[in-house]
Structures are given as structure tokens and as C-alpha cells.
Amino acid sequence: VVGVREHATTSRCFINDDEVEDWIRLGTTVHSRDEVGLFAYPGQSNMTGRRLSPSWSARIRESSHGRTFTLLDAAALATTSPLDLSDPAASPDFVSVSFYKIFGFPNVGALIIRKAAGHLLQCRRYFGGGTIDMVIAVGGTSHVKRDSSLHDQLEDGTLPFLSIFALDIAIDVHARLFTSMARISSHTAFLASYLYDNLQHLHHENGSSLLRIYTDDASSYGNPTLQGATIAFNVYTSEGKLIPCQFIEKLADNEGIYIRSGSLCNPGGIATYLGYTPQDLKRAFALGNRCSKPLSDVDGNPTGVVRVSLGAMSTRQDVDTLVSFLVAKVSSIKGRDLVRSDDPILENLVGYDTVSLLEDGKLTNPTKHVVVERLAMKSPEELSPSGNSRRLARLFKIGRFKR
């Protein structure tokens, strides 16, 4: 959405909920028959895990904002939360979902379109193979779009049939392992609350906090309506010196703990939580900071965060392992141990010895659990795209499905 806004006549980025609420309440007095607006927002922040209001779509539709449509990015939300689209009047006009983030494989996604908004996608002037019934290539430039269904007009080129077939199997295995998204939501909400409670009480011997956790005032860990199972933080030495997030990720990776670090493809979140103004970001760029090759900090201010995400297969032991790692291997790092190299990211940590994780007073190592499923091959009819559409309609509680 940030990139696509370059094609819009005007655009605005709301800083907080209050700005959104004021915008909805005040509406607009200017209506153009040809003017179309798009209000796009994530169901869950991919940085802090904070979940935004599901009521905005319906309220915008009922407001005086004219032809303003809504797009919900549910990629992060749908991984650990039920997605209820059973009421078309309350649902967004467009919903994007990543099956990769839900199942791991297949790596495909979906755009769920409210039928009343489908006409907006029929106005494009270009086309790709498979979306037309007739085309004149020589002596003219005419073509006729397929009219059997909206998705037939939008699915350019060859569809990823193998991934679509695999999606059917992924849904089956997911249901057998976890039974429902509601159960996953409850499980991950508990783990997120347990992790947050442990992290916020981590301190150095001198009383200073080991971590700086980034949260919203509206967030409440343990409440899946307001907060997802994601926590973002930065780590500091007892002297208050930043330990670069990229290096924390490398240390954790060496111990089989998989977290993410950096700006998380979230420029708005980084600017808001780390306090970067547009001028600050330009200065950081001039100093050499890049999305693909970030500096560890700019004048002591971090350029990214450490992000921990919990999912359906996460356990309490996973949380304990992470906390033990931070206590046993990170809290003892001193400012003098941090040495810069020529690479923008900190590459070396001097005087640091690797030790085993402490858990319940014993030296242990993380274990990995592998689930192997014996799958029965289904008929082509059961694996068809239309069959998957009906199953996805049930998975996301979409209203009555018609081809």
C-alpha cells in the first residue's frame, strides 16, 4: 500500500486510532462521481502484534466518505486468529491473506473480494493470458474479457495448480493438528501473555532493564481481541548501551532459537516507536543506512528491533528457552564487548563464550519436534480450485458461496 499510494491523487498516513476516529466522524463534504478512495489497514501490526479495530470497515461504509472502500491486510492476523467474514455488511471490501503465514506451505495467498466491490477490479486497461475470450493482435487492438466470473478476469497467466492442490492438504492437516483457529487464538494469547510477563521483569544486577519493549497503550497481552502473539523489543547492556538487534538474532540462531530482527518491512512502525522523523531517516540514509544493509544504530538510536512471534506449535518450553537465553547469554554482555567492524552491522562480539541453556537448573539444549502425516491422495474434483474456494469460505466464515 505504501508503494501503490504513488499512483493516488492524494494520500494520508494516520498516526494513531484517534486520527482514524476523527476522520471517520468528520467525513467529507466533497463528493466526486469519479473519485474513489481506499482505506487500507492491517488487522494486526507485524511489528508489535497490536490488533486494530474490526469495526472500521462498516463505519466507513456508513459514513459520509462517499466512494471510500476498505482493504484489510489479514496476513499477520489470520495466522493465530479466526477471520469472520460472515456478515458482508460489516466486512471489508477487500481482504488479503497469506496461506504461507498460516500453513508454512504452500506459499500462496488470496485476495477475498466483497461482491459489491468487485466492479472496481473490472476497470483495468491491460490483461494477461487466460483472462480474455478473444483478442485481435494484428490489424487492431480489440479484446473481449471473460465474463464467467470475476476471478476468471483477474487470474493472469498459468495458475500455481500444484500449490492450489497442496492447499487442500494443508487445510486438512491444520484442522487435524489444531482443530480450530479459536483454539489457536486462545493458546497463543496465553503464551504471549506469559512471555510478556517474563520479559518485562528482566533486569541487570544494577537494576536497569535488559529490554525495551514496544507496545501500544491499547494493547493488552492475553486479550486476543486487542493483541496478537508478537512482541518487539531491543536489548541494552547494564550501562544502557544498545546491543544491535541483528546480533541478538545471530546469537539466537546459533542456539536454534528463530526470531527476526530489523525494520520488519514496517517503515511506519519504525518511525513511530523508534522516534525517527523524516529528517532523521534522510540523515540515516546519508550515513549509509539501507533496508537491505542497515546500520546497527544512528547516534545510539536503533534502526530496527528484535521480534518474537508465537504460533500454533509454540509451547511454554519455547518461551522458557528464550527467556533463559536472554538471561544466560545476553545479560552478561558489556559495552566493551561490542566491537564495530567495517560492515555496517556489528559482526563481532569479543569475550563471549557459548554456554548451554539453563532450564530448571539443568543444562539442556533446544529440541525440535517433527510431525509426519501420512496423507491419502484425493480425487481431482476434491482438489479443484472451486472445491478449495468452498473450504476457504468455511475456514474464514465467508457468507454463502456461489460460483
**In the chain, where the domains are located:** 3-126, 180-337
pTM of the model as a whole: 0.81
Is the pLDDT at 370 greater than 60? The verdict is: no
Name 277's Cβ contacts closer than 8 Å, sequence gap at least 6.
271
Residue 245 annotated to the active site:
no
The per-residue pLDDT for 387 is 66
Of 250, 237, 383, which is closest to residue 300 (Cα–Cα)? 237
Is the pLDDT at 389 greater than 90? The verdict is: no
CB 213 within 8 A of CB 231: yes
Is the pLDDT at 71 greater than 90? The verdict is: yes
The per-residue pLDDT for 366 is 34
User: Tens digits of per-residue pLDDT, 106-127?
Assistant: 999 999 999 999 999 988 888 8
User: Tens digits of per-residue pLDDT, 271-321?
Assistant: 999 999 999 999 999 999 999 899 999 988 999 999 999 999 999 999 999
Of 13, 123, 245, 265, the catalytic one is 265
**CB atoms inside a 10 Å sphere around CB 226:** 17
Q: Do domains 3-126 and 180-337 have the same CATH topology?
A: no
Q: What is the mean pLDDT of residues 60-67?
A: 87
The per-residue pLDDT for 124 is 85
Is the pLDDT at 44 greater than 90? The verdict is: yes
Q: What is the mean pLDDT of residues 91-106?
A: 96
Question: Side chain identity at 154, as an amino acid letter?
Answer: L
CB 9 within 8 A of CB 42: no
C-alpha span between 178 and 222 (Å, rounded): 19
Of 269, 273, 299, which is closest to residue 286 (Cα–Cα)? 299
The per-residue pLDDT for 5 is 86
Coil, strand or helix at 26: helix
Element (H, E) at 320: helix 316-325
- Phi, psi of 31, deg, nearest 5: -130, 125
**Domain 180-337 in this protein, CATH class:** alpha beta
User: Tens digits of per-residue pLDDT, 348-358?
Assistant: 433 333 222 23
Q: For domain 3-126, say whether CATH 3.40.640.10 is its number.
A: yes
pLDDT band at 141 (very low <50, low <70, confident <90, very high): confident
User: Tens digits of per-residue pLDDT, 148-187?
Assistant: 889 988 999 999 999 999 999 999 999 999 999 999 999 9
